Structure 1
């Protein structure tokens, strides 16, 4: 009579798990290194050289960075970039929150937000071309103001600084309000109904309800929207390039436009790489500082809504 023998299935060891994990991680890691980190390292190297795109780069140390801080146009670009950061936080983020909050809970609110979302489907270059037609000398805006006998028909919207930067921020805001409103709407939909009902029972309404209940509970969405706005405004390029090319006389340049001009228009790859590295440093620094501050605030504001409605 044959006897059955029990065979035990070998259990995988931790070494096998590690090998499997590395097998899954290595392709993605290799792609990230090749696509992201190696170009960054090469850009850092180019920023330390004199290179016109032809021949071999000549190592010059920190000469390009010294040239940056000695160039008054660089500080103009930096100032304009900071104006973009502030303007992007005040207008598209602020109005996006306003649109989301006022339309939240209304019947057919999704359709009310559609007109704000349509501009986001356009590229920054397309938005720049449209608003260039509107704001150019003798353009649609000037003609409309003259027809209505209102002041401003002779204003050179794109020729005078810092007015040209302000109107370009307004153009970018026209495009960005909708997506910010959508993100804030998602955040509002994730807020539990119980805290809002408890706050209304305790007498909170209007501004008090928003300030002390909705706003703290909306912090995760706000962190995302503001963080994206800061990063995108620090690297503003397309709409400025389409509307003014940084002019006149480079007075409306941002760091992104300066990087493009130095690299591709002036064939100074070393100086353009130095601007790119500077942009990367301030973008990463701003993101890290902002996120650390938001995380610290989030840890200390867990009971804000409960205290406010008492």
Structure 2
């Protein structure tokens, strides 16, 4: 009788332990699916130099990841080419041309959309840390008081070859950025309001800005490459070299991205804008990733 009771108790305990172990493994698996970090799958962090090209560095990081994911190769794409394509093929409205044709800057989603037209290796057109306007290159022409587009982009080498890869952009609402990263495991390009006083330059950690810190504000484009659903923080990749932040990366709270996208001040009055401006603000307020498309090589 005692032995029988002992065996029964032992069996019950053993079953309980197995159930507990199963629950633990399930919990660990669930927790594993609640965070993602793509940094080990990315190439070296680059530096944009003195140019306003954070957008093309972010877009190139995304495109390199998509090519690596599909082919297993580790391409180093030409940010210079992406910038030139963006300035020449994506500024399709008068608003976009007025905003970007004669300035050294670009919205992140436009840099991603440029990869719908062409991609190129860095070896075909190496990136320069300063543009023609900054180096006072004689090829930088001023037309009607404004520098021409080539002052900021330069011109592609005549024999440069393009790759057979394009992108189909995928836009993601700010409240779904983390969900997208967890589900699709792809980087996201995102325009943020950059408050220098709310960023720890040593670690790259972004804090929610105080009203005083919001007085000093810039537009910037980053690449979201990680997310932890428990802490609601993203890992982002910057374009200021590996010496900035944590090896070129930082973290940012989800709330910051929702409340402080670069165009946040314009969202409340969106209905007042003409269609082309409204479309721009809507796209600039979202994260953008993409799907890789393989095509026959051709020039854009």
Indicate the TM-score class for this superposition, using the shorter chain for normalisation.
under 0.3
TM-score (norm 2): 0.23
Point out the structure with the larger helix share. Answer: 1
Point out the structure with the larger strand share. Answer: 2
Larger CA Rg, structure 1 vs 2: 1
Does 1 or 2 have the higher relative contact order (CA < 8 Å, sep 6+)? Answer: 1
